[in-house]
Amino acid sequence: MQRRNFFKTAAIGGGSLALTPLSSCIQSNTSTSTTTDYSDFELNELSIAGLQKKMSSGALTSEEITRKYLSRIEGIDKKGPKLHAVIEVNPDALAIARQMDVERKSGKIRGPLHGIPVLIKDNIDTGDKMQTTAGSNALIGSPAPDDAVIAGKLRNAGAVLLGKTNLSEWANFRSTRSSSGWSGRGGQVRNAYCTDRSPCGSSSGTGVAVSANLCALGIGTETDGSIVCPSGINGIVGIKPTVGLWSRDGIIPISHSQDTAGPMARTVTDAAILLGLLAEKDSGNGKIVDDYTKFLDTGGLKNARIGIASDFFGFHSEVEKLMKDAIQTLKNNGAVIIENLKFDNRTEWGNLELQVLISEFKTDLNAYLKTRTGLKVQTLTDLIEFNKKNADTELQWFGQETFEDTEKTNGLNDPVYLKALARVKELTREKGIDLLMDQHQLDALVAPTNGPAWTIDPVNGDHFGGGSSEPAAIAGYPAITVPSGFVHGLPVGISFFGRAWSEPTLIKLAYAYEQVSKHRKAPWFMKTIG
């Protein structure tokens, strides 16, 4: 999760890669450039289609592609700039790739992901040799007994599960003063554009890995900001689906009312491919479609009515300039822009959202832990005690006050929780996104996804500048972020969000904007700025 506003204001009553501790992850030099050209990589910026072309032509096999990504991880993530984005590589990755090559030779192609290496966040179960830990040493032990539904769908689609990505420990839900991208197990993830800057969280490892071309594409998870912020701040595309479009089975939870996994990719096309392949098409929801790529339309902005969510502007002058240019691009390509739209009662969101999340986290986490055997902890109570006993590794930089506040909650039948849940959904749905879209006949709302990445600061924690994840996250509605430019070499994204199940419309708009703006640039691995 990104550093939420409610953490600033709310008072609550009552065996892998990148295992270096945070202190060794923080740059002390002042050089602004690297001496190595990390863009000199055969697969740099290749899309799913580009990789498939290489495999179908015989230029490369899936095994060869997988080896190249594994070498890239070794050279850049473990050595080189030490991005610490990958917490563990899959010891079976090459075997999976070889099997996909055998199938290809026999004429069996499972689909667009056949033989494509994918990295997934380390809070998603895989029933294999890899750990699933949410970045915590407390969950190192027996691997998960089964694949999460989305992990199983990846395998069935022919993807090569390349490994697990590092993350903000417990998806940034342990402390009000955490450093995004840090975990006790994996160390501090670094932004690939400037390695002393934050990658944002909690899907920081996935964002950096996709951006730095350590994989073809990746999967993150979001409760509030954890897909869109690390996507925006790392210069890639991220889709936070409507809650329920992807299965949440087998994912270490925070909140069943807000949690969702989603695609993170370098292009809208690749993100749309992954979105459709992992969608719950048998859910009985007729609004979930088989193939979201059919909504990719270069003319998708023509006559689209787009509202400017002005509540989320004004936090950085250079971001304002980028957004002004982006809005002009939307206009130039036929969009009708409705300016200065505001959400009523926004000030209520923070406290209400936090009450909902801490109430759901305790129940949801305890239920998840019952599915795991051979671990050091079986309840939130156990986890709190584990961290106290292992404070030198787990609590060296910040505490666990969010865990402790969560432990004091009274379950899902508590009237305080039920009242907060009903009210916060009303404010973000019927009196929020839906209201604005109905009043102004909108296709989508837009706002800046993020500000420029802040410097990593383990002593004080994140100093998050601004963003727009809250309304869609709390409502459980979809959002897509697309690169919109740079501030002093640091990426900034623009978010398109709207009503429930509006992914087709959002993909159409985001793709059209992407195609006319072309802001995606591969990272340059600066050591510092200034």
Q: For 425-478, list the strands marked E by DSSP.
A: 444-448
Nearest alpha carbon to residue 468 among 344, 311, 322: 311
The CA-based dihedral angle spanning residues 125, 206, 24, 524, taken in that order and rounded to the nearest 10 degrees: 160
Give 466-526 as a DSSP string: -B--HHHHHHT--EEEEEEEEETTEEEEEEEE-STT-HHHHHHHHHHHHHHH--------B
The first and second tokens of residue 372, run together, are 């795991």
Residue 322: strand, helix, or coil: helix
73 and 86 in contact (C-beta within 8 Å)?
Answer: yes
DSSP 34: -
DSSP 432: I
Catalytic residue numbers read 121, 202, 226
The first and second tokens of residue 272, run together, are 């749309």
The whole-angstrom separation of Cα 428 and Cα 257 is 13
193 and 491 in contact (C-beta within 8 Å)?
Answer: yes
Helix axis angle, 268-277 relative to 48-57, nearest 10°? 80
Nearest alpha carbon to residue 212 among 166, 158, 277: 166
The whole-angstrom separation of Cα 266 and Cα 445 is 22
75 and 525 in contact (C-beta within 8 Å)?
Answer: no
Cβ within 8 Å of residue 169, ≥6 positions away: 134, 135, 136, 178, 182, 183, 184, 185, 394
Alpha carbon distance, N-terminus to C-terminus of the chain:
29
